[in-house]
Structure formats: structure tokens, C-alpha cells
Structure 1
Amino acid sequence: MSHLPVFKIVPTTQKYDWGKIGLSSKVAQYAAAAKIPGFSLDEKAPYAELWMGTHPNGPSRLAGADITLAEHLAAHPELMGPKVVSRFRDAGAEEGNLPFLFKVLAIEKALSIQTHPDKKTAEALHKEKPNVYKDANHKPEMALALTPFTAMCGFLPLSQIATYLTSTPEFAALIPETITTKFLAAASSADPTSPEAKTVLKDLFSALMTADEAAFKASLADLVKRYEASGANADEAGVKDLVLRLNSQFPGDIGVFCAFILNYVKMQPGEAIFLAAGEPHAYVSGDIMECMATSDNVIRAGLTPKLRDIPNLVSGLTYGAGDASRHMVKPAAFDSAAHTALYNPPIPEFSVLQVLIPSGETEVHPPIEGPSIAIVTEGKGALEWAGEKLVVAEGDVLFIGAGTGVKLLASGDGQLAIYRAFVEAS
């Protein structure tokens, strides 16, 4: 199979404590369905991520061959496509490495309050702390919901944060009066994109994340006690359940107060958000397809037992504020394919296709000028190209080489669902 432009690859699984347990996790479901070599299900273990790509922390391998995908692509650069190889080699990519990393995430417990550095910052952090920031790449990312999914993403409009400041005494107690006064004045008058608005938001966020530990633990305890005893007031109603959920998972953590400054989104399958460098976020619950530039760089500040790098997080945020809709990625048509939706965030490293083919029907994808990785998340069927055919089923992960048009066929009783990440140089 390895000499062909379409072949199966073996992903890697990651067990983090925030993952869903056993077969409740789609990561474990796909790994078990595809009979990944070496995978042995532990019904008590958290299966958090399935990695598909060339990142050295979890490199995919060719099915039935003792070679990594990166090694194979380095030996066969035509599978990447000359335009993609040229463009991303000039950007510093190593030979054989894809510019994107594709994942499945199964989230039971909230991930940390975090951001990802831009390229320049990533290079500096990697040089300064290579044991923490293990590569020099940026990590813009997109999350596409497989099941109902919740997340915190980006700063709320200043007016909404101001409402929480004036209605939630436990939150207000952690912010110095001088910072609160300036913030409330700016929130009522400043253009949210102005330098003034960004400055007061940065000052407020910095004050919150550096609040005295004894003070914020006491305030959080008071807040939780009030919510549990008598509920939230009208202004706080939208965050009450989030605060209680986060505190149950991370008792006494300053990150719980981010419920009052970040957008909280509840998404249905097929909805997607994009998070550029410098955007604060935390995934809370659900199952998603996630695609990102090839990096594992995360700057954390709360809801985590891991290293908290508050100075770099505070300095690296863009401090854009506004409704969560600014993060949403709307699906578009892909060529003339009737059963395929294109999610195309504003970066060059990746786009994602959602393919939902009814039983007995087919879908044609024209050649793409770059490499693809696809995973079957539901059903069974086949891929055909140039007189060749590959039978696929739930959990199978495939590589599709540059310039290869494919025909997708759905068989069985249900639909064939495939998610395909790709890159083009145009």
C-alpha cells in the first residue's frame, strides 16, 4: 500500500486526566474499532486525544509497516505536492512534516485556561524554555463539534464584564478599585478595539490572574456557597452552572473566575470555532475534531495542575473583546460535492472537510494540491481512485496524497461520516 497515494495510517492515543473514561471516549471507540496495533482498552483510563500527523510527540505510522508517516513523506515528497513542500520549507518546516496536526478530543473535565503563542513568541519561548515549550511553531487551532460541546473562548464584550463587576461582589473584590474605575469608564464609552479598551482589559485580567491566593480562595468559597444556597442573581444566571462545574473539578482555582470574563459557548455537532494566537480559551466538555498548526505549545494560567506561566500568558494575549460569534467558522460549499462542507479558517496551514454521505450514495472530491489526513467517524464504505479501491470503516485513518482525486462510497445501513484535514499552497 505504501507506494500508493492513498493508504491507511496508524494514529496515536494520549491519556490525559481530562479525557473521557474507557469506551465513553470517542478516542477509545475509534482506536478499538480500527484495532490500532498495541492498543489495549482500559475501561478505567481517560482517553483524551487521538493524534493524526507527523508531530514527534505522537507520530503516525504507516499501517503494516515499520516507518513513520514523516519518514515516508520525506522519501516521497510528491505526496506532499511541490507547492506545499516549497512554501512550508521556506517557513522552516522539517522535511516530511505536515504543516498541520489533526486530532480527536474527548473532554470530560475542563482543559486549562490557556492561549497559544504566535510564531515569533513561540521561537523565543522555545529558546528560553525548551523543556516547557518544545517546538518553535505557533498553534492556531479550530475545534469542530462531533457531539454537543462547550467552551470558553475569547474575552466577553467589555459591557458584559462590567455588568459582572457591578453585580458579583466576590469577583469585584479581587480587582483593585483604581483598575475597576478605569475599566467601568472605558466599558461605557471606549471603542472596544481602541488601545484604551485593550489596556483596561489587560489591567483587569492581569489583576485577576495575580490576585492574592488567600483572597481569591476565600472569594470563590463565598461565591460557591451563595450559588449553592440561593442561586445567582439575574446578571449571573448564565455563569452559575459553569462556575459550579469548574469549581467541582478544580476547587479553589483562580481560573473559575474566568467565567466572568470569557465567552461561554454551547455548540451543536457541525459547529466550529477558530482560535488564533493570543486568544484565551478553555474547552469544557464534549467531543471534537481539532486541527492546528503542527505544534504542542500551550501557555497556561488556570484550571490545571501543570505549569502556570501567567507572565507570558498576560503579555501574549491580543485583548480583543466581543461576542463569541467572531470566533465561529461557518461551513461553505466544497466544489460541487453535495455531501461535503468546507471549514476554512483564515490561516494557510489547514482547512477541514466534513463529509456525511447517506447509505448507498457517493461523493467525488476533486484533486487537492496538497496532502490530506482523513478519519472515518461513522459507518463504512470505500475510497476509489485511479482504478484502485480501499475499504474503510469507523476508526480508520487515511492519508491522501497531493493531486489525488477520490470517490467516496457509503455502504451499510447508516451514513458514512469522514473528517478530512488538508493543506494547499494557494
Structure 2
Amino acid sequence: MSAVFKLIPTTQKYDWGKVGLSSKVAQYAAAYSAAGFTLDENAPYAELWMGTHHSSPSRLLDSPSQEKLSDYLAAHPELLGSPVIERFRSEGAAEGNLPFLFKILAIEKALSIQTHPDKEMAQRLHKERPDVYKDANHKPEMALALTPFQAMCGFLPLARIADYIVDTPEFAALVPQAIREQFLSIASSDEPTGPAEKKALKDLFTAVMTAQESIFKPELEKLVARYHSGGAKASEKEVVDLVLRLNSQFPGDIGVFCAFILNHLVLKPGEAIFLAAGEPHAYVSGDIAECMATSDNVIRAGLTPKLRDVPNLVAGLTYNSAHASKHLVEPQAFDSAIHSTLYDPPVPEFSVVRAAVPAGETEVHPPIDGPSIAIVTSGKGSIAWDSSEELRLSEGEVFFVGAGHEVRLAAGGENEFVIHRAFVEAK
């Protein structure tokens, strides 16, 4: 049994993905042509999955039968480590299941306005609608930009939303006068997350998301026509491109108006955001490495052809109003590693390390008291462990690292060797 070995990831083709080799997902999956991957230049490659999720599990590359990773880990629990097995037994760790799912996403068309439930809400939704909410787990997630990445994330500061109510009549028309006046009266509060402030924000957001088509569609048409004609006000400049992009992808959708309610972030490569339970968001464009607790639970309410569950979405949000920076994950040093950065969100299921090893140099990662899955996102090199074992790696290849093993990453060729490594410890 080896502590480090290559995996075969799986690809998902959703209509919001980037097409053909314009997609990072397809570029990385191309490393597996010998294992059966065939590129369709006209297909939208949206996601690359790396983990033990039952619906699309990773498999061992060098196994004659391409054994599922979960089966192999169940047979070799020392690769998970007993602390992780005990901590996440209820999530199936004892059966070889990881508590996290690692992905690459390539986004051409915006994903839905959505949120994820906390564990209590997930249990209730799963009991009530197991056909829609297929498990009882929560789904906190982190997105780490590989290319410039746009997203809507969390509620704007109350005062900024108030500016849009005053300056954007098409948006204001969706909100009944009494709710509008109450919101404006409280928007300058020094306690934006106080009970009264949260209620005012909830009332406003609910009014927008439940507005009748006979009201919001004509208003959206007027708004888009005004922006196309160059009639945007100075206070609206930062949302013009976003509104027009979303409306071109989802014409006449109420979700377009979320541009006036949610923060709009543009992340540079290496920047990350964390999305806790109850935080509304929508990924807009770009390529990311995403890590999440293993769950399928998504509550949607706009910018989607899928089922919309507006009542549960508005009921499950935190209504925390804050600047976009609240959602950024502050990079940290990773032990004594020189070329590696740790992204450690406030959840036990996962953390991610980004290692960028310059050509000709070596990076040592100390032992982690839990399992890891990593992908080479740029360049080529090798990973060595124990006294003499080594694997050669190139862009797109995915590998597993068992608990408790120090590894040495060496950059080959003339370019930087970059890996993204998701892991869990029983913290």
C-alpha cells in the first residue's frame, strides 16, 4: 500500500460551464486521455470532482479495476487517520468517505442565486423533500480564484442598498412603499446586524424575490433599455455591466435585481472567499478551485432553470449586511513552507493549501494529521515521501496523500509548479 497515489477525477457538463479547451476543467481532464477522457470541443465543461461523493466518485488510476477511492480508504483506514475517522464518523469517514469534496469550476454563465442550509435546516429539508434535498448535511464552501473571478456574495451594506432604492426607480418599484420607507429609515444605523436592521433587510429582500412578473419584468426591461442607452447614473456605474451580463444570460429574471442587493466581488488569482450557511451568493464568471463539505444541498431562487425555493431561501438567510471584504479568506503561512499559502476557513471539514514552487526548487509540506487530495494546476514536477518513493506529476493530474506523511514537492522544467491541496484534520 502506498501513502501517495494518483486519482482519476470526474467531469460534469452543465450549461453554465466554459466550452471545450477554453475550460480549465477540460484542460485538466485532458491529462486523463489514457484513462478514457475524450474531449468534446462543443461541450460545456463546468466541474471537475475530486473526492468520494457517491454520485461521482474518484477512482485509483493504477488500480486494474479502477477501484473507488472510498472503497480503498475503507480497506486502509490508516490513510484517513483515526482522529479524522472518529471526528467525522457520522459523515461516513469510517466507510472511507471524506468530509469534503474538492472541485475545479469553469464558469462562463452565472450560477443561480443560492444559499446553503446549516445542519439543522438541512435535516428538516431532507426530511420534508428528500427528492430535492438529498442529504442532511450542511454545505459551507470556499472558492479560490485560479483566474480573475466574479461573484455576488453576501448582502451589501444597508446604506448602499438605500442608495439604489433612491437612485434606481426600476429597483424601487419592486418594493411596497411601507417596506421601502422602513428600510430607508434604518439604513444609516450604527448596528447593521441588529434585529430591527435584519428584519428591514429581510422584508426588502423578500419583497424583491417574491415580486410579481407583471411588475418586475417591465421594470427590468426599462432598466436594461436605460443602461443600453447610456442613461446610468453615477451611483449605478459599478453595476451596469453586471446587470447587462446577467440579463443577457437570463432575460427577464428576477435574479438580475440582486445586483442591487448583494456585494459584487472581482477576485484576482490567489484570492478566496468563504460562504457560510445562510449567505446568499452567485458565481458569475471565472475559474476556481472550490472546496466544500460533502453535500448536495442548494436552495435556489433566481438565475436558474432549476427548481426555485424562494420561501426556504428567504427563511434561511442570515441577513448580515457587510462590506464584501467580510467574505474574503485571509491567506496564512503554512507551517515553515516557503512557497505555500494556507486558506483555513472557520469550519472543521476542510482547508486548502496553494503551493507555487519556482522552477528548480523544492518545497516541504509537514505531515498533516488527515487525508489530502491535490491537483496540479500549473507546470510539472514531482512529489516524494517516506525515504525513496516518488511520483512524477504534470498539469491536471490529481493525487491523494495519506494522513501523517511529510511530502516534498520539486518543480521540474522551466516553469512554476503549482498545486492546490485540500485536506482535513480533526481540529
Report the secondary structure of 1:34's partner residue. Answer: helix
Q: CA deviation at 1:135?
A: 1.4
Q: Work out whether residues 34 and 394 of structure 1, in 8 Å CA contact, stay in contact via their aligned partners in 2.
A: no
Q: CA deviation at 1:92?
A: 6.1
Residues in 2 aligned to 1:111 and 1:36: alpha-carbon distance in whole angstroms: 32
Moved more, 35-44 or 364-373: 35-44
Does 1:375 find its partner at 2:375? yes
Hey, which bits of structure 1, 4+ residues long, moved more than 3 A? 90-94
Q: Work out whether residues 122 and 297 of structure 2, in 8 Å CA contact, stay in contact via their aligned partners in 1.
A: yes
> Which residue matches 1:9?
7
Q: Work out whether residues 91 and 99 of structure 2, in 8 Å CA contact, stay in contact via their aligned partners in 1.
A: no
Could you tell me which amino acid in structure 1 is paired with residue 293 of structure 2? A
Report the secondary structure of 1:179's partner residue. Answer: helix
> Which residue matches 2:408?
407
Q: Work out whether residues 155 and 319 of structure 1, in 8 Å CA contact, stay in contact via their aligned partners in 2.
A: yes
Report the secondary structure of 1:134's partner residue. Answer: coil
> Which residue matches 1:123?
123
Q: CA deviation at 1:93?
A: 5.1
Q: CA deviation at 1:38?
A: 2.5
Q: CA deviation at 1:34?
A: 3.5
Report the secondary structure of 2:269's partner residue. Answer: coil
Q: CA deviation at 1:190?
A: 5.3
Report the secondary structure of 2:265's partner residue. Answer: strand
Could you tell me which amino acid in structure 2 is paired with residue 335 of structure 1? D
Q: How does 1:301-316 map to 2 (within 5 A)?
A: 301-316=301-316
Q: How does 1:22-33 map to 2 (within 5 A)?
A: 22-33=20-31
Q: How does 1:131-150 map to 2 (within 5 A)?
A: 131-150=131-150
> Which residue matches 2:19?
21
Residues in 2 aligned to 1:57 and 1:316: alpha-carbon distance in whole angstroms: 26
Residues in 1 aligned to 2:92 and 2:412: alpha-carbon distance in whole angstroms: 42
Q: How does 1:23-422 map to 2 (within 5 A)?
A: 23-35=21-33, 37-65=35-63, 66=65, 67-90=67-90, 95-189=95-189, 191-386=191-386, 387-422=388-423
Q: CA deviation at 1:90?
A: 4.7
Residues in 2 aligned to 1:189 and 1:392: alpha-carbon distance in whole angstroms: 54
Q: CA deviation at 1:269?
A: 0.2
Report the secondary structure of 1:419's partner residue. Answer: strand
- Size of the aligned set, in residue pairs, is 424
Gap regions ≥5 residues in structure 1:
none
Q: Work out whether residues 19 and 48 of structure 1, in 8 Å CA contact, stay in contact via their aligned partners in 2.
A: yes
Could you tell me which amino acid in structure 2 is paired with residue 39 of structure 1? F
Q: CA deviation at 1:132?
A: 1.0
Q: CA deviation at 1:231?
A: 3.1
Residues in 2 aligned to 1:372 and 1:121: alpha-carbon distance in whole angstroms: 29
Q: CA deviation at 1:36?
A: 6.1
Residues in 1 aligned to 2:209 and 2:250: alpha-carbon distance in whole angstroms: 15
- Map Cα deviations across residues 81-121 of structure 1 (whole Å, 9 max, x no partner): 00000001156656211010000000000000000011111
Q: Structure 1 residues 314, 93: CA separation in 2 closer, same or farther (over 3 Å shift)?
A: farther
Q: Work out whether residues 7 and 59 of structure 2, in 8 Å CA contact, stay in contact via their aligned partners in 1.
A: yes
| Percentage of pairs with the same residue | 69
Could you tell me which amino acid in structure 1 is paired with residue 325 of structure 2? S
- Map Cα deviations across residues 281-308 of structure 1 (whole Å, 9 max, x no partner): 0000000000000112110000000000
RMSD over aligned CA atoms reads 1.0
Report the secondary structure of 1:32's partner residue. Answer: helix
Q: Work out whether residues 92 and 98 of structure 2, in 8 Å CA contact, stay in contact via their aligned partners in 1.
A: no
Could you tell me which amino acid in structure 1 is paired with residue 419 of structure 2? I
Q: Structure 1 residues 186, 36: CA separation in 2 closer, same or farther (over 3 Å shift)?
A: farther
Q: Work out whether residues 114 and 300 of structure 2, in 8 Å CA contact, stay in contact via their aligned partners in 1.
A: yes
Report the secondary structure of 1:137's partner residue. Answer: coil
Residues in 1 aligned to 2:287 and 2:145: alpha-carbon distance in whole angstroms: 6
Report the secondary structure of 1:198's partner residue. Answer: helix
Could you tell me which amino acid in structure 1 is paired with residue 85 of structure 2? V
Residues in 2 aligned to 1:360 and 1:52: alpha-carbon distance in whole angstroms: 28
Gap regions ≥5 residues in structure 2:
none
Q: CA deviation at 1:271?
A: 0.4
Q: Work out whether residues 84 and 93 of structure 2, in 8 Å CA contact, stay in contact via their aligned partners in 1.
A: no
Residues in 2 aligned to 1:92 and 1:352: alpha-carbon distance in whole angstroms: 21
- Map Cα deviations across residues 106-152 of structure 1 (whole Å, 9 max, x no partner): 00000000000111111111121111111111000000000000000
